[in-house]
Amino acid sequence: MARKFSDLTPEEVLRVAIGVEIANGERLRTFADMFSQQSPEASSVFKEMAEEEDQHKAVLVARYAQIYAKLADPLPESEISDVLEAHDLQDAEHFIFDDMDARAALKAVLAAENVAMDFYRRAVPTAATDELRAVYAELADGEADHVRRVQERLAAQGMRDAG
C-alpha cells in the first residue's frame, strides 16, 4: 500500500522528489507526443518543459549527493499516496475543440508547478524535525523558482500572441 508523504524521512523526501521529476519528464514527453500532430507548438512547449524537468532532477540528485551519498535509486511517486506534482492536461476535450496551443500547454505546466509549490509550503510547518523542515523549504523554494520561470515564459508567449 502506498505510504503517506508525511511518513517519509528527509532522505526519502528527497528521493521521492527526484522520482516525481522523472515521472513528470515522462508525462510531458507523452503530451509532446500526443499533440505532435494536433498542435506542434504545444508539443514543442511540452518537450521543452520535459527537458526542464530533467534539469530539476539533476539539481535534486546533486543536492541529494551533497547531503547523503550517491543516489542509489529514486523513490517512485507511485509509492506515495499523495500527488506532489503531476503535470496533467487541464481539459478532457482538448482534441475535440482543438484548443491546445503553446499558451494552454504552459498553463497546464504552471498549474502543476503551483500545486507542487503549495504542497511543499504546506508541508514546512508540519515537519517533525528541523532537518525535514529544511528539506521541505528547499523544495518549496525550488518549485517557486519553477513557477516564476513558467510565468515568465507565459508572459513572453502572451506578448508573442499579441504581437
Q: Which of residues 56-75 bind other proteins (CB under 8 A)?
A: none
**Are 77 and 19 within 8 A, CB to CB?**
yes
Q: How far is the CB of 15 from other proteins (least distance, A)?
A: 17
**Are 101 and 158 within 8 A, CB to CB?**
no
Q: Which of residues 2-21 bind other proteins (CB under 8 A)?
A: 2
Which residue of 51, 55, 68, 91 would you call a contact of other proteins, by CB under 8 A?
91
Q: Does 81 bind other proteins (CB under 8 A)?
A: yes
Q: Does 23 bind other proteins (CB under 8 A)?
A: yes
Cα–chain center distance at 8: 19
Q: Compute the radius of gyration of the chain from its Cα atoms.
A: 17
Query: In what helix (H) or strand (E) does residue 18 lie, and over which residues does it extend?
Result: helix 10-34
**Which region, judged by CB under 8 A, interacts with other proteins, from 54-62, 96-104, 118-126, 127-135?**
96-104
Is the Cβ of residue 26 or residue 141 nearer to other proteins in the bound state? 26
CA atoms within 13 A on the CB side of 51: 5
